[in-house]
A and B are shown apart, each in its own frame.
Chain A
């Protein structure tokens, strides 16, 4: 069975600094997708970034980037120039190509210190 592990229940970072959230996953599949979702206090789950496993290049979206290490089954999220609006729960998720099921980790609560 596929599992997603987020080993940091809580993280905090000073505003304008950089923070990295960790995620590891376990799978025997070779074709899959990885996602980071953000859930602010409003509860809406918002897609932050997506990575296709067949792509070696790490995905980036403005201040958000990932470090995808396929052999190590690691998928960390780096947030640069942290802003107060980045405060939220961050969930790592995994999906096999062509399968509807998203498997989520337990989340990391990120606090931004002004």
Chain B
């Protein structure tokens, strides 16, 4: 595998379910990000992990819980979601330097019923 991978690509869940999204980067980067992409809205940054430490939580509801066990893996644990949480969830990674270009995964399309 190369670049940034995300699993699953599609997920349908009920409001009472618990599920997790997984992201893995194969670029040797040290920062990882979760974004939410909803229709007709700009991408919203949710969480940032820099050297495995969470450095940003962009006022995200507690029903979203991130986990970064190492610099290559990032999870987003989901529980008691709402229908308005349905969106495309994108993971990205970067090397923390001055330029810091972010590279994205293909996303997980989440539908909450």
**B and A form one assembly:** yes
Measured CB to CB, the residues of A under 8 A from B are 4, 33, 35, 37, 42-47, 50, 52, 91, 95, 97-98, 100-107
Asked if A101 and B103 make an inter-chain contact with CB atoms under 8 angstroms apart, the answer reads no
Q: Which of B13-21, B42-50, B59-67, B71-79 contacts A (4 or more CB under 8 A)?
A: B42-50
Asked if A47 and B99 make an inter-chain contact with CB atoms under 8 angstroms apart, the answer reads no
Q: Looking at chain A's contact residues, is the secondary structure mostly helix, strand, loop, or mixed?
A: strand
Measured CB to CB, the residues of B under 8 A from A are 31, 33, 40-43, 45, 48, 50, 55-56, 88, 90, 92, 94, 96, 98-107, 109
Asked if B45 and A45 make an inter-chain contact with CB atoms under 8 angstroms apart, the answer reads no
Asked if A100 and B31 make an inter-chain contact with CB atoms under 8 angstroms apart, the answer reads yes
Q: Which residue of B lies closest to A98 (CB)?
A: B98
Asked if B107 and A43 make an inter-chain contact with CB atoms under 8 angstroms apart, the answer reads yes
Q: Which residue of B lies closest to A45 (CB)?
A: B104
Q: Which residue of A lies closest to B104 (CB)?
A: A45
For A100, give its contact among B33, B103, B106, B107 (CB under 8 Å).
B33
List 8 contacting pairs A-B, 8 Å CB cutoff, sorted by A.
Answer: A35-B101, A42-B106, A44-B106, A47-B103, A50-B101, A100-B33, A100-B56, A106-B41
For B45, give its contact among A44, A101, A106 (CB under 8 Å).
A101
Distance of A105 Cα from B88 Cα, bound (Å): 16
Asked if A100 and B100 make an inter-chain contact with CB atoms under 8 angstroms apart, the answer reads yes
The answer to whether residues A100 and B50 also contact, given A42-B106, A43-B88 and a CB cut-off of 8 A, is yes
Distance of A45 Cα from B55 Cα, bound (Å): 23
Residue among A35, A45, A52, A101 facing the most chain B CB atoms (10 A cut-off): A45
